Structure 1
Amino acid sequence: MIDRELGDRTGEAERLADLGNMRARTGDYGGAADLQYAVVANRKIGSRIGEAYALSNLSTLREKTGGYTEAADLQQQALAIYREIGSRPGEALVLNRLGRLLISADELHSAWRTYTDALDVAYDTDFFLHTRVLEGATYCLASLGDTDKARTQLREAIAMYRRIGVPESPTATAKHTMPPSHLTD
């Protein structure tokens, strides 16, 4: 790695995270171990935001491979760091991911509280992130059986996606047209 050869420890940590993310996106979960190295590299150089970013992405990898408990623990670690350094966007992103994990674990009331917290944080932070959290919250509501409120919020998220022209709009729209039992798929 060129960054390592040049002694650029920050660059090395960033490249490890990038490489791990790319491998995870292409299904090379074993090769995505670079994310673990990115966590360690960021700790060594004292980059708290880099560490939180790598922890959160490592959590997503663990979730994809069925390690939900470890994924939740990694997100909790990332959340603590984002709160410590005052990164509200990072906090909202991690809370959104934790909500999804809690739904997967069938901890629906905890998931709803987590989404509520995420919505509060994201509202003042980032319009796109707020929209993603709102969409995630709709799936939680549907899982809790409140499909009418879920559909209303999903329509709101779709309108917000369309307003900013992001690719998530068709996916959310497709969910909106499904019967209530499929809203959480």
Structure 2
Amino acid sequence: AGEAATLNNIGSVYDALGNRQQALTYFQQALPIQRDVGNRAGEATTLNNIGNVYSGLGDRQQALTYFQQALPIQRDVGNRAGEAATLNNIGSVYDALGDRQQALTYLQQALPIHRDVGNRAGEAATLNNIGS
């Protein structure tokens, strides 16, 4: 599990540096390890990270594939903050695809969760996405 977390962290650094392909390489190495060791929370985080990279690369369908895999895991492990972030990510992708109604469906699910967990920044981001 430590190896997967390290790979995930390295991927996050590359993503922050704008090197998305390198980030993807590390996230895709972390994912099977997370699955092998049964780290469902880590798996969901890595799936979400991969989705974010694909979204940043403009491959929205691929991003949705990963976000849709992460969402039920976030729910299963009770990660409410992660669930809200994933819902927001899915909503943003649908918005970018021009499906405003579907985007609102996900964003409106994320909003009360952000409020419940006290994530003011997430709440603000979701409100901004709803309003744009």
Asked whether the two chains share a fold, i.e. TM above 0.5, the reply is yes
Aligned length: 131
Amino acid at match of 2:126: G
1:136 equivalenced with 2:126 (yes/no): yes
Amino acid at match of 1:138: N
> Could you list the runs of 5+ residues in structure 1 that have no partner in the other structure?
1-9, 143-185
Amino acid at match of 1:141: G
> Contact 2:81–2:119 (CA<8 Å) still a contact in 1?
no
Compute the TM-score of the two structures, normalised by the length of structure 1.
0.67
> Contact 2:115–2:123 (CA<8 Å) still a contact in 1?
no
CA distance in structure 2 between the partners assigned to 1:58 and 1:139 by the alignment: 21
1:133 Cα deviation after fit: 3.3
> Could you list the runs of 5+ residues in structure 2 that have no partner in the other structure?
none
C-alpha distance 97-133 of structure 1, shift in aligned 2 (>3 A): farther
Q: Over alpha carbons, which structure has the higher Rg?
A: 1
Identity percentage of aligned residues: 28
Compute the TM-score of the two structures, normalised by the length of structure 2.
0.92
Give 3-state SS (helix, strand or coil) of 1:17's partner.
helix
CA distance in structure 2 between the partners assigned to 1:24 and 1:127 by the alignment: 23
Amino acid at match of 1:139: N
| Residue 116 of structure 2, aligned match among 116, 124, 144 | 124
1:26 equivalenced with 2:17 (yes/no): yes
1:135 Cα deviation after fit: 3.0
> What's the CA shift string for 1:106-148, capped at 9, x where partnerless?
11111111111001222111233xx423433333333xxxxxx
CA distance in structure 2 between the partners assigned to 1:140 and 1:73 by the alignment: 22
